[in-house]
Amino acid sequence: MTDTDETPEDAVPVAELETLVDQFRERADDRMSLGLIEASDGINRCADELEALIEAE
């Protein structure tokens, strides 16, 4: 474990991260329906990056 890694007490369970990804995707869809394409794209990028981190673990 490196100095930047979280301790087990601070770690977020994968299930919570997956829920967060789902929430990001819902928010992105909401923004897209409002015509906020850049916001939607940014939120989707965050969701993609979070999913990649989950898969890497």
Phi, psi of 35 (to 5 degrees): 85, 15
How do the domains of the chain map onto residue ranges? 14-56
Residue 56 vs residue 1, higher pLDDT:
56
* Residue range 29-33: mean pLDDT, rounded: 89
Beta carbons within 8 Å of 24's beta carbon, 6+ residues apart: 43, 44, 46, 47, 50
pLDDT at residue 53 above 70?
yes
Quote the tokens at residue 28: 């992105």
pLDDT at site 26: 92
Q: What is the mean pLDDT of the chain?
A: 84
- Output the pLDDT for position 5: 57
pLDDT greater than 70 at residue 7: no
